[in-house]
Amino acid sequence: MDRLDQRLAKYKGSQDALIDKIRRSVVGHDATFTTQLGLTRRLVYCDYFASGRSLSFIESTIQDHILPFYANTHTTSTHTGLYTTKQRELARDAIRRSVNAPKDEYAVIWTGSGSTSSILHMIGALRLWDFSRWNTTSNPPVVFVSVMEHHSNLLPGGVGPDLGILESQLKLHKSAPLLIGSFSAGSNLTGVPMDVHRIAKLMHAYDGLVFIDYAGVGPYVPINVRGTVSYTDAEAADKDGVRVSVPDCLDAVYISPHKFIGGPGTPGVLVAHRGLLSASSTPAKPGGGSVRWVTMDATEYLTDLEEREESGTPDIVGSIRCGMAFAVKDAVGAEAIQAKEFKTARRVDRVPVFSFVVRSPYAAASGRALFLHMGLCAGLFGQYLLSMNEKDVAEVLGACSGQQTCSLAASPSTVTCGDIAVSDPWLDVFKPGYVRLSFNYFTPSSEIDYVLAAVEFVSTHGHLMLPYYAVDPKSGAWRPRPNVELPTFEAPTAATPVAAATSANLFVRLDRVRAIEFERQVGSEERARLRRFALPKDVCEYVRFK
Task: Give me the number of domains the chain comprises.
Answer: 2
> Is 173 found in the same domain as 244?
yes
Asked which of 111-115, 268-272, 414-418, 499-503 is least confident by mean pLDDT, the reply is: 499-503
For residue 405, is pLDDT > 50?
Answer: no
Question: In which domain, by residue range, is 141 found?
Answer: 60-329
In a domain, 503, yes or no: yes
Q: What whole-number distance in Å separates Cα of residue 318 and Cα of residue 62? A: 10
Domain end point (choices 296, 329, 362): 329
* The pLDDT value given to residue 537: 78
434 or 423: which leads in pLDDT: 434
Q: What whole-number distance in Å separates Cα of residue 511 and Cα of residue 44? A: 36
43 or 387: which leads in pLDDT: 43
* The pLDDT value given to residue 30: 85
For residue 487, is pLDDT > 70?
Answer: no
Question: How would you label 364-375 residue by residue, b for 16+ Cβ within 10 Å and e otherwise?
Answer: eeeeeebbbbbb
Instruction: Please write the tens of the pLDDT for every residue from 151-205.
Output: 444 434 334 567 888 899 999 998 899 999 999 998 888 888 889 999 999 999 9
Asked which of 20-34, 330-344, 438-452, 473-487 is least confident by mean pLDDT, the reply is: 473-487
* The pLDDT value given to residue 293: 82
CA atoms within 13 A on the CB side of 418: 3
For residue 241, is pLDDT > 90?
Answer: no
> Is 369 found in the same domain as 238?
no
Q: 544: pLDDT confidence band, cut at 50, 70 and 90? A: low
User: Burial of 505 by CB count in 10 Å (0-12 exposed, 13-18 middle, 19+ buried)?
Assistant: middle
For residue 81, is pLDDT > 90?
Answer: yes
* The pLDDT value given to residue 148: 53
pTM for this prediction: 0.82
Instruction: Please write the tens of the pLDDT for every residue from 201-218.
Output: 999 999 999 999 999 899
DSSP-assigned beta bridge partners for residue 253: 212, 271
In a domain, 502, yes or no: yes
* The pLDDT value given to residue 181: 93
* The pLDDT value given to residue 134: 76
Domain end point (choices 329, 344, 367): 329
Q: 485: pLDDT confidence band, cut at 50, 70 and 90? A: low
Residue 280: how many other CB atoms lie within 10 Å: 14
> Is 371 found in the same domain as 325?
no
Q: What whole-number distance in Å separates Cα of residue 270 and Cα of residue 247? A: 20
> Is 442 found in the same domain as 520?
yes
* The pLDDT value given to residue 534: 87
Average pLDDT across the chain, whole number: 79
> Residue 314 sits in a domain of what CATH number?
3.40.640.10
Q: What whole-number distance in Å separates Cα of residue 61 and Cα of residue 264? A: 15
In a domain, 319, yes or no: yes
Instruction: Tell me what the mean pLDDT of segment 470-497 comes to.
Output: 62
Question: N- to C-terminal Cα distance for the chain?
Answer: 65
In a domain, 3, yes or no: no
> Is 75 found in the same domain as 208?
yes
Edge-first strand listing for the sheet containing 142-144: 106-111, 268-273, 252-255, 209-213, 179-184, 142-144
> Is 535 found in the same domain as 468?
yes
In a domain, 36, yes or no: no
Q: What whole-number distance in Å separates Cα of residue 305 and Cα of residue 111? A: 13
> Is 375 found in the same domain as 273?
no
| Range with the largest mean pLDDT of 70-84, 272-286, 414-428 | 70-84
Query: Looking at this protein, which amino acid is placed at residue 414?
Result: T
Question: Which of these, 328, 79, 149, lies nearest to 336 by C-alpha position?
Answer: 328
Query: Looking at this protein, which amino acid is placed at residue 415?
Result: V
Q: What whole-number distance in Å separates Cα of residue 466 and Cα of residue 3? A: 53
Instruction: Tell me what the mean pLDDT of segment 228-257 comes to.
Output: 86
**Coil, strand or helix: which one is 425?**
coil
For residues 93 and 102, the answer to whether their CB atoms sit within 8 Å is no
In a domain, 14, yes or no: no
Q: What whole-number distance in Å separates Cα of residue 269 and Cα of residue 88? A: 13
In a domain, 6, yes or no: no
> What are the C-alpha distances in Å from 131 to residues 140, 284, 285?
9, 15, 17
In a domain, 28, yes or no: no
* The pLDDT value given to residue 514: 45
Question: How would you label 296-305 residue by residue, b for 16+ Cβ within 10 Å and e otherwise?
Answer: eeeeebbeeb
Instruction: Please write the tens of the pLDDT for every residue from 322-375.
Output: 999 999 999 999 999 999 988 888 755 778 888 888 888 888 777 888 888 888
DSSP-assigned beta bridge partners for residue 32: 42
Instruction: Please write the tens of the pLDDT for every residue from 498-520.
Output: 333 334 444 444 444 444 445 55
103 or 460: which leads in pLDDT: 103
* The pLDDT value given to residue 502: 39
> Is 372 found in the same domain as 302?
no
* The pLDDT value given to residue 38: 65
Question: Which of these, 176, 140, 190, 146, lies nearest to 164 by C-alpha position?
Answer: 146
> Is 394 found in the same domain as 248?
no
CB neighbours of 243 closer than 8 A, spacing ≥ 6?
A: 234
Query: Looking at this protein, which amino acid is placed at residue 198?
Result: R
Asked which of 103-112, 210-219, 406-415, 512-521 is least confident by mean pLDDT, the reply is: 406-415
For residue 446, is pLDDT > 50?
Answer: yes
> What are the C-alpha distances in Å from 268 to residues 256, 257, 315, 322, 325?
5, 6, 10, 9, 13
Instruction: Tell me what the mean pLDDT of segment 431-454 comes to.
Output: 85
Write the Ramachandran bin of 436: left for phi over 0, alpha for psi from -120 to 50, otherwise beta: beta
> Is 490 found in the same domain as 458?
yes
* The pLDDT value given to residue 218: 95
Bridge pairing between strands 268-273 and 252-255: antiparallel
* The pLDDT value given to residue 330: 97
Instruction: Tell me what the mean pLDDT of segment 101-116 comes to.
Output: 93
| Range with the largest mean pLDDT of 79-88, 178-187, 295-304, 335-344 | 79-88
> Is 281 found in the same domain as 137?
yes
230 or 526: which leads in pLDDT: 230
Write the Ramachandran bin of 524: left for phi over 0, alpha for psi from -120 to 50, otherwise beta: beta
> Is 279 found in the same domain as 390?
no
